[in-house]
Amino acid sequence: MTKPPLLLLHGALGSRATWTALVPLLEARFAVHCLEFAGHGATPLRRAGFSMAGFVAEVQAYLAAQGIAQAGLFGYSMGGYVACELARADPDRVAGIVTLGTKFYWDAETAARETGRLDPQKIAAKVPHFAQALAARHSASGWEAVLGHTRDLLRELGATGGLRPADLAGLACCVRIMQGDRDPTVPLAESAEVAHALPHGELEVLPTTPHEFERVAPARLAATLTDFFAAF
């Protein structure tokens, strides 16, 4: 029997390596695909830099190149935002979506707060181990460039307002919004409001779970993804 395709979309500052522990737990059930966004990891940067529209186009191009007419999408943080934008732009491509730790609502104040955390000099001085990890991860563009383009992307989201309930009300596919109960980046009330605004939305709260993907239990996440996408 052919396994259904499941495409994993990493978050900001992430790469294909995000999924190292998760993929083996999913391969028995799914044909797992790991797209690495341009400018991240070992993938060269597009001339246009980072944008949500550009990331959506990358997903569309990847699915077309792989001959995948429709796929389930799991997106962590920024990846979940991209998945929902794809469902808005190209709904026939999307069988269903699970997001984790995705911030949908943006404004100038939120963007300023988040971009303030992406200063390479401060990171190198205060958390040098994190700077070293980013340097090892982003071999194509360099970690300082990745931070700079990510800051530009967040400012763009702050200017546009992100995705609001009215923007998501037209999504026809099933969407499960996952949120760690100890995630300081995304208010739980925001995730709940988004889930309730979706025509086929669900909310799942992970106990004792912060925002960092490295601290999410892989087996717990794999069980949720298998349960959700079993219907497709």
Model pLDDT, residue 47: 82
Alpha-helical segments (H) within 39-170: 52-65, 78-89, 108-115, 120-126, 128-137, 143-160, 165-168
Tens digits of pLDDT across the chain (232 residues) = 789 999 999 999 999 999 999 999 999 999 999 999 999 999 999 888 899 999 999 999 999 999 999 999 999 999 999 999 999 999 999 999 999 999 999 999 999 999 999 999 999 999 999 999 999 999 999 999 999 999 999 999 999 999 999 999 999 999 999 999 999 999 999 999 999 999 999 999 999 999 999 999 999 999 999 999 988 7
pTM higher than the cut 0.75: yes
128 Cβ contact partners less than 8 Å away, ≥ 6 residues apart: none
Q: Say how far apart CA 116 and CA 164 lie, in whole Å.
A: 24
Q: Give the pLDDT confidence score for residue 48 in this predicted structure.
A: 81
CATH fold label, 5-106+162-229: Rossmann fold (3.40.50)
| CB-based contact 85:18 (threshold 8 Å) | no
Residues 6 or more apart in contact with residue 189 via CB below 8 angstroms: none
* Those residues with Cβ within 8 angstroms of residue 214's Cβ, 6 or more apart along the chain or in another chain: none
